[in-house]
């Protein structure tokens, strides 16, 4: 009974704090007018500086590459954490027998087979044209990871997971991660500061333009694709099926 | 209806997520609240960089176009990825807790931890 009473007092305080927060933040936001922001400079000089038509990609992979690299490290850390902790749980429980789970629904299986190549193609397109149009490494890589999940739903997670050799996948992920970091450290060899593009800029609007943004998009796409699949595969294996 | 824009909706969603984090006892619902908070922050930042009748910041060379601010969008990309990382990792931690205490109720888990601790102390004595 005492616990319940204390909880209601806490709840009341929580609601009051949240409402105060709501009023204060809304009030402070009402002072912000609409005026040209800090991004104006990037729009004026972005194409000239980086050779990429998509200014968001130019900021993300050229001006602010330093931030992006640590963001990729955070993602890699999450993948490592998920794998480590899920393996720790798994050792305590009786080993699941390798169930060959196949979807009972014929519709799901056929639709998965039909949709997977199309979605994979869209994912690759997003990665390759990240500097020309909306897209890029992260969104394309996430889409490619979803393709594998779609196949896992249709064909059974264990089956798809066995097809992708785990050692090869691990090694590929490490290679992607190391080359993403190493590429930025190569700049001084070409007479540029660290994290500065040393590839030729090319003609803006063409596929081969934007310096190393295309290469970075490919590397990040591969890294995110493998990372997402490794995380999902850990969850699938822990659960027994999809 | 000038006040009904992405910023105000984002703030309201943030408060809803905050209330879910503070009031609900279920850990999975708490994680959903965390995701809602992150999404609301993204909505808020994107709306701050939006101009009326602006187009996406992809330079096409057409004259007389207003491009919206690309800086918040580039920043928000990091936020999306880190949201994914946080949610995946905290989901694993919830799974560890469920494996051990067989409930997702945070108050019950806290009580069980308390009991275990007092039990251990009796053993030490």
Which residues of B fall within a CB distance of 8 Å from A131? none
Across chain B, mean pLDDT equals: 89
Bridge partners (DSSP) of residue A54 are B58
What is the DSSP code string of A66-84? HHHHHHHHHHHHHHHHHHH
Residue A185 domain flag: yes
Bridge partners (DSSP) of residue B67 are B55
**Is the minimum CB–CB distance between A47 and chain B shorter than 8 Å?**
yes
Instruction: Give B10 or A97, the one with higher predicted confidence.
Output: B10
φ, ψ of residue B26 in degrees (nearest 5) = -80, 130
Residue A7 domain flag: no
State how far Cα B84 lies from the chain centre: 9
φ, ψ of residue B30 in degrees (nearest 5) = -60, -40
Residues B32-47: tens digit of each pLDDT: 999 999 999 999 988 8
CA distance B114 to chain A (A): 14
| pLDDT of B6 strictly over 90 | no
Residues B83-119: tens digit of each pLDDT: 999 999 999 999 889 988 989 998 899 999 999 999 9
pLDDT digits (tens), chain A, 242 positions: 455 666 788 888 888 988 998 888 888 877 766 565 677 888 888 888 888 889 999 999 988 899 999 999 999 999 999 988 888 776 554 445 544 555 567 888 888 889 999 999 999 999 999 889 888 889 999 999 999 888 888 887 777 877 877 888 889 999 999 999 998 888 888 888 888 888 888 888 888 888 889 999 999 999 999 999 888 888 888 876 66
Residue A19 domain flag: no
Do A7 and B107 lie within an 8 Å CB cutoff?
yes
Number of domains comprising chain A: 1
CA distance B51 to chain A (A): 7
Find the helix packing angle between A166-185 and A213-239, rounded to 10°. Answer: 150
Tell which A residues from 73 to 112 touch B, by Cβ distance under 8 Å: 74-75, 77-78, 81-82, 85-86, 88-89, 92-93
State residue A4's pLDDT score.
63
List the domain range (segments joined by +) for residue A122: 54-239
Please state, in angstroms and as integers, the Cα–Cα distance from residue A104 to each residue in A109, A155, B121, following that order.
8, 10, 52
Per CATH, the number for B6-124 is: 1.10.287.3510
State residue A3's pLDDT score.
59
Percent of chain B topping pLDDT 90: 45
CA distance B74 to chain A (A): 5
**Is the minimum CB–CB distance between B65 and chain A shorter than 8 Å?**
no
Query: What whole-number distance in Å separates Cα of residue A6 and Cα of residue A14?
Result: 12
Query: What whole-number distance in Å separates Cα of residue B115 and Cα of residue B125?
Result: 16
Closest CA to B93 of A201, A213, A231, A85: A85
């Amino acid at each position: 009974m005492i616990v319940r009473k204390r909880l209601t007092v806490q709840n009341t305080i929580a609601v009051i704090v949240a409402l105060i927060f709501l009023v204060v933040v809304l009030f402070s936001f009402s002072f912000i007018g609409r005026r040209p922001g800090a991004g104006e400079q990037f729009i004026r000089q972005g194409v000239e500086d980086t050779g990429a038509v998509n200014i968001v990609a130019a900021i993300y992979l050229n001006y602010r590459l330093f931030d992006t690299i640590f963001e990729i490290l955070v993602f890699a850390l999450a993948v490592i954490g998920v794998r480590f902790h899920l393996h720790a749980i798994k050792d305590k429980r009786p080993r699941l027998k390798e169930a060959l789970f196949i979807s009972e629904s014929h519709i799901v299986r056929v639709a998965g087979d039909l949709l997977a190549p199309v979605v994979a193609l869209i994912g690759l397109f997003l990665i390759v044209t990240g500097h020309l149009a909306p897209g890029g490494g992260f969104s394309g890589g996430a889409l490619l990871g979803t393709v594998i999940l779609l196949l896992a739903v249709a064909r059974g997670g264990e089956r798809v997971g066995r097809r992708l050799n785990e050692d090869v996948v691990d090694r590929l992920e490490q290679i992607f991660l190391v080359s993403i970091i190493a590429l930025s450290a190569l700049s001084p060899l070409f007479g540029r500061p660290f994290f500065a593009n040393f590839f030729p800029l090319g003609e803006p609007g063409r596929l081969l333009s934007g310096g190393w943004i295309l290469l970075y998009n490919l590397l990040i796409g591969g890294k995110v694709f493998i990372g997402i699949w490794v995380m999902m595969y850990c969850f699938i294996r822990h659960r027994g099926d999809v | 209806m000038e006040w009904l824009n992405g910023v105000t909706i984002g703030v309201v969603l943030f408060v809803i997520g905050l209330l879910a984090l503070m009031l609900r006892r279920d850990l999975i619902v708490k994680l959903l609240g965390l995701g809602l908070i992150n999404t609301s922050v993204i909505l808020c930042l994107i709306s701050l960089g939006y101009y009326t009748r602006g187009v996406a910041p992809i330079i096409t060379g057409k004259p007389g176009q207003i491009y919206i601010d690309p800086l918040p969008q580039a920043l928000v990309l990091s936020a999306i990825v880190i949201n994914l990382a946080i949610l995946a990792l905290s989901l694993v931690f919830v799974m560890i807790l469920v494996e051990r205490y067989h409930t997702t109720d945070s108050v019950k888990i806290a009580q069980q931890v308390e009991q275990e601790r007092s039990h251990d102390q009796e053993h030490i004595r």
